[in-house]
Chains A and B, each alone.
Chain A
Amino acid sequence: MTNELDYLKKRAGQGKLSRREFIGKTGALGVSAAAAGTMFATAVHAEGPKKGGVFKLGSIGGESTNSLDPATWASQMPYHIGRQFADPLVEVAADGSIESRLAESVESTPDAKTWMFTLRKDVEFHNGKTMTGDDVLKTMERHSNEESKSGALGIMKGIESMKVDGDVFSVTLKDANADLPYLMADYHLMIQPNGGMDAPDAGVGTGPYKVDVNEPGVRAAFSKFENYWGDDAHYDGVEIIAINDSTARTAALQSGQVHAINRVEPKVAGLLGRAPNINVNSTPGRGHYVFIMHTDTAPFDNNELRLALKYAMNRTEMVDKILRGYGSVGNDMPINAAYPLFDASIEQREFDLAKAAEHYKKSGHDGSPIILRTADGAFPGAVDASALFQQTAAQAGIPLEIKREPNDGYWSEVWNKQPFCCSYWGGRPVQDQMYATAYLSTADWNDTKFKNEDFDKMLFAARAELDPAKRKAIYSDMGKLVRNEGGLICPMFNDFIDGVSTDIAGWETDPSGELMSGQITRKTWFA
C-alpha cells in the first residue's frame, strides 16, 4: 500500500492528479479524506513550485476613484495591485522577522538612530531603467515632504534626514527607533523611478508583474515581468477583479471564476469551507474591533466609568456572535499574541457584571443615557455588536443609547470626533508603531485622546532599547496602562478570512495581512 501511496503522492506533486482524484484514489487505499487532503498539500509542496497560469483574485475595496499612485492607497484592491507591480525596501515575513526586498541588508548604529539599507544591484524597473539609490531617496522624500498627502506620512515623521551613498541608503532619525525596518515595510513605500515625482500614478515599479490593464474599480491585469530580479512569482499573469459585494465574491470563487477572495464573511465561512474545491484560511492577525471613548470628554474622563463599561463587555459573546469564532478575545489593549514581544501573562479582563455595577456606582454618573455611535461601516457587525453591548451594559445598570450613523462620512464626521463610537484598527507590524500611531499624546490618530506622560516616556524608552527582554518588560507595562486607564474597549481581534481554491499550492499563514500579507501571487503556484 505504501508503494501505491507514494506513487499517488508523486503524481499529485507533478500535478497529474487533482486533489479530488487524489482523495478518491487514496480513499480506496483506506486513507481518510481529511488525512488525504493534508497528504495532497504536502506532496504538492514537496515537489516544489510549478510555473505558469493566470492567477485570478477577487477583491473587496475596488473603487472607480482608485489610483496607481502608492501615496493614495487606502483600501484592499490598491493594496494588492501594489504588491504585484512594486516592491518596498523590506517586507515583514510570516514569522515576524524582516525579509529583504529591494534592500539586501539592513544595519543600524548601536544607538538605533541611523539605519543603513544596502540596496540590491541590477534591479530593473518595468520601464527599463535600473534602480538607483536616488530612486529610493526620492520615493521616501515624496512620502515625507511638506506637500505629501501620503498614507505613510504619519510613519515618516520621525525621520530627521536621509541620504544616499553609492548603494547605501541611510536614514537618520530624530529619536532612536529599533523598529525602523518595520516602518519601511509599509505598503505605501513602494520604490518608483525617480520616486514617482514625475508620474506618481504611472504604475511602474520593480515588482514581479507589470501592469497591462488598469480599470479603476473594475479590474487590473498583469503579466510576468521578464526581467524581474527575484526567483519567486510563479504565475504567467495575474488578474485582480473588484468584487465589492461579498455574496458575489463567494459565488465567483465557488464557480471557479477566481482562485482566491479576501474578506469571506464569518457567517458563510463555515459553509464555504465545506465546498470540495475551496479552502477557507483563517489567519489570526493584529486587526481589532473597538469601542473608543475620549478620555478627555465627560462622562468618559472618569476612569471609574471607563472601567464599568470595560467590565460590562461580554467578550466571548462578541467573538462567538460577531466573528462567529473567527477571532480571539481582546484585553482592552491594542496588542495581542500576534505581536513580537507580547507579554502573555497580563491578566485577561473578564465579563463581570458585579464589578461593572460597582465601578459605575463609584463613577457617580447621573444615570443619563450614554450615547454610543455606530455604523455598519465601522466594522462588520458593528451595529449588532453595539446592540449586544447595550444589553450587557443594561444588566449592570448602565444605560447605553445607540445612535446609528450613516456609513458615508463616518470617518470624517464621527470617528475621532465623537466621544464614544465604534471603530476598527488594522494593526501594525510592531507594538511601537501601534502605540505611536494611536496612543501617544501627540499622535494625530489618538482616537481615545489618551494622554499620559509616563506612557509617552516608556514608549520612547522602549524605542531606544535594543535588549528584547527589557523592551518586552516596558511594553508589558504600557499595555497594562492602556488596559487599566485608557479609553479603549477592545472586545475582539478579528482573523483574516480568505477563500482559496484547492488548485493553489504553497499557502502559508502570515499574520501581517490578508492573503498572505498580499504575497499570495508571489509565493503560491498552481498545484
Chain B
Amino acid sequence: MHPIIKLVAQRLALGILLLFAASAMIFGLTEALPGDAAQAVLGQAATPESLANLREEMGLNEPAITRYFDWLGGIMTGDLGTSIVNRLDIGESVGKRLGNTLFLAFWAAVVSVPLAIFLGLLAVRYRDRWPDKLISAVTLTTISIPEFLIGYVLVYFIAVKLGWGSALAMVNDSMSLGQKLNAIALPVLVLTLVVLAHMMRMTRAAILNVMQSPYIETAELKGLSTFNVIAKHAFPNAVSPIVNVVMLNLAYLVVGVVVVEVVFVYPGMGQFLVDAVTKRDVPVVLACGVIFAAIYIGLNMMADIISILANPRLRHPK
C-alpha cells in the first residue's frame, strides 16, 4: 500500500476512535451537571408531581448507561434521535443550524484566509518598515479586543448610527443570497478581525524563518524580485505551519463563535448547544458535541495530510 494511503487510513481510524471517546466524555459530563432535563424545563415552576410526570415521559428513569448505548445505536444507523425537551427531530434542527454556522464560517474564511496570507506576505516584503508595523499593530489590536466588544462597537456605529448594516444577523430560507450576505456582513467582519492576526503572524513568522535559508540567498543573488522570491521559493516551504494555523482558525470559525452568534442573534450551532446544555437536553448536546468534535478532528487531519503532501521529504519517506 502506498504510504500516504496507509497514513490517511490510520488517521481516519484514530479520528473515529477519538470521536467515540469524545461522545462518552460529553455524555459523562452532562450527566455530572447538577439537575436534569425535567428540572431545567420546569425551572422555578417545578412541583414533585410534574417533575415525576416529565421524567417518565423523557425516559430519564432509565439508567445512564442504557441511555448512552441507545443513543450510540441510533447514531450508528444515522439517526441522531429526538430532543427530549421539545421532541423535534435532532437531525433536522441541527442540520439547519449547522448549515447556518457553516455558511457564516465559509464567508468569514473566504474573506479572512486570503487576506491574512496576503497581509503576511506583504509584512515580510516590507519587513520592519512601516507597512509591516502597521499591519502587525492593527491586527494585534483587533485580536486583543474581546470579540463581543468589537461586535457591539460595530453594531453601534455601523448599524445604529449609520444605518448601513443590519444589527441582527437573522438569516432564513426565504432570503436570497444577496440578502443573506448583507445580513451577515457585520459578523463576518468581526470574525475576520478576530482570526486575522493569528494567521497573518504565523505566515509572516514561517516565511521569515525560511528566508534565512541559503537557497533564498541564492535566489536573491540570481536577481529575482523580492516578492517573487517570497511567493515562489519561500512560501511553498512555509506551507505546513501556515496550513496548520489556518485549519485551527477554520475550526474556531465553526465551533468557537458562540459569543459572536449571541451578539448578532445569529441562528447557528453555538446558541443551539448552549440552550441544550442549559436544558440538559442530552441527545442534542451529544449530537452537537460529536459534530463539533468531528469538524475539529477532520480539519486537523486535513492540516496534517496537506503538510505531508507539501513536504517532499514526508511524501517520499526513505
Contacts and interface: CB of A to CB of B under 8 A. Distances in A.
A248 B278 contact: no
Given A65-B41, A65-B279, A412 B267 contact: no
Interface string B254-279: 00000000111101000110011111
A413 B46 CA distance: 12
Contact of B86 (A65, A148, A219): A65
Contacts of A150: 50
A243 B271 CA distance: 11
A360 interface: no
A215 interface: yes
Interface stretch (B119-127, B158-166, B231-239): B158-166
A153 B48 CA distance: 11
B160 A254 contact: yes
B216 interface: no
A404 B291 CA distance: 33
A46 interface: no
Contacts of B71: none
Nearest to B155: A251
A287 B62 CA distance: 39
B6 interface: no
Interface in B67-104: 83, 85-88, 93, 96-97
B152 interface: yes
Given A67-B87, A412-B35, A241 B168 contact: yes
B13 interface: no
B39 A412 contact: yes
A257 B183 CA distance: 12
Contacts of B262: 244-245, 248
A242 interface: yes
A241 to B, nearest CB: 6
Nearest to A242: B265
Contacts of A149: 38, 42, 50, 53-54, 57
A24 interface: no
A258 B265 CA distance: 13
B271 A64 contact: yes
B170 interface: yes
A257 B165 CA distance: 11
Nearest to B94: A64
A255 B267 contact: no
A215 B284 CA distance: 16
Given A63-B278, A245-B262, A248-B262, A412 B152 contact: no
Given A65-B276, A247-B263, A415-B44, A201 B160 contact: no
- Chain A CB count within 10 A is highest, among B97, B167, B277, for B167
Interface of B is mostly: helix
A201 B87 contact: yes
Nearest to B261: A245
B257 to A, nearest CB: 14
Contacts, number: 140
Nearest to A66: B86
B278 A74 contact: no
Interface residues of A, number: 45
A213 B172 CA distance: 10
A412 B50 contact: no
B45 interface: yes
Contacts of B163: 255
A219 to B, nearest CB: 7
A217 interface: yes
Nearest to A425: B44
A198 interface: no
A154 interface: yes
- Chain B CB count within 10 A is highest, among A67, A217, A415, for A217
A72 B272 CA distance: 18
A423 B163 CA distance: 40
Interface residues of B, number: 53
B47 A65 contact: no
Contacts of A247: 152, 155, 263
A412 B46 contact: yes
A17 interface: no
Given A147-B53, A149-B54, A408 B278 contact: yes
A217 B42 contact: no
Contact of B267 (A74, A218, A254, A415): A218
Contacts of B53: 146-149
Contacts of B281: 65
Contact of B168 (A201, A217, A257): A257
Given A251-B167, A257-B167, A409-B35, A63 B279 contact: yes
A69 B285 CA distance: 22
A183 B155 CA distance: 43
- Chain B CB count within 10 A is highest, among A66, A219, A248, for A248
B128 interface: no
A254 B163 CA distance: 10
A257 B43 contact: no
A173 interface: no
Nearest to A423: B44
Nearest to B100: A218
A4 interface: no
A248 B167 contact: yes
- Chain A CB count within 10 A is highest, among B156, B168, B170, B277, for B168
3 nearest CB pairs, A to B: A412-B35, A412-B39, A409-B34
25 contacts: A63-B275, A67-B87, A151-B45, A153-B49, A216-B88, A217-B267, A217-B272, A219-B172, A219-B267, A243-B168, A244-B262, A245-B265, A252-B168, A252-B265, A255-B155, A257-B167, A408-B33, A409-B33, A412-B35, A412-B36, A412-B39, A412-B40, A412-B46, A444-B48, A445-B47
Given A64-B284, A149-B42, A217-B267, 16 more contacts: A65-B275, A66-B86, A74-B42, A149-B38, A149-B50, A215-B96, A217-B271, A219-B172, A248-B263, A251-B152, A252-B167, A255-B166, A408-B277, A409-B40, A412-B40, A413-B35
Interface of A: 58, 63-67, 72, 74, 146-151, 153-154, 201, 213, 215-219, 241-245, 247-248, 251-252, 254-255, 257-258, 408-409, 411-413, 415, 423, 444-445
